[in-house]
Amino acid sequence: MGLFSWECPECLDSIISDSAINEGENELIGWQKRCAVVFSDGTTLVGEYDGYGRVHCDIGIVVNLTDALDPQTCDAPFTMYHEACYRAAGEPMFNGIPSRRAQDQGYFFNDPSERQLKPEE
């Protein structure tokens, strides 16, 4: 499976992977690879998204989010935020609305300057 991602429900930009960041070109959007995943059971994981469905969590584990997708519909029983957006929104719980798939796959976006600034900036 190729690159794919989800859309942050707060800023509507995709969660990006490290592969989407080019040194000296668009480093300012590097914060968008940090994510918080809130599952329907209340579990929250924080880490870096790799672009292939895996979150490399700060607690030292790697979680493959594709394992949680509904096999019939591919719906996600989680909401995925940029970590900064999640914190700025007051660390919301799962609201029953799964994250939408990102049209740009977290990699194929045009102009990095059109992406959101980090919420606290």
Is pTM beyond 0.85 here?
no
Domain residue spans of the chain: 18-108
Residue 6 CA to residue 86 CA, distance in Å, equals 14
Please write the tens of the pLDDT for every residue from 14-29.
888 877 766 655 556 7
**Residue 55's closest CA among 17, 8, 2, 105?**
17
Q: For position 4, what pLDDT does the model report?
A: 82
CB of 11 closer than 8 Å to CB of 4: no
pLDDT digit string (tens) for 56-97?
A: 999 889 988 888 777 676 677 889 999 999 999 999 999 888
C-alpha dist (Å) from residue 113 to 2, 35, 59, 84, 116 = 25, 20, 32, 18, 8
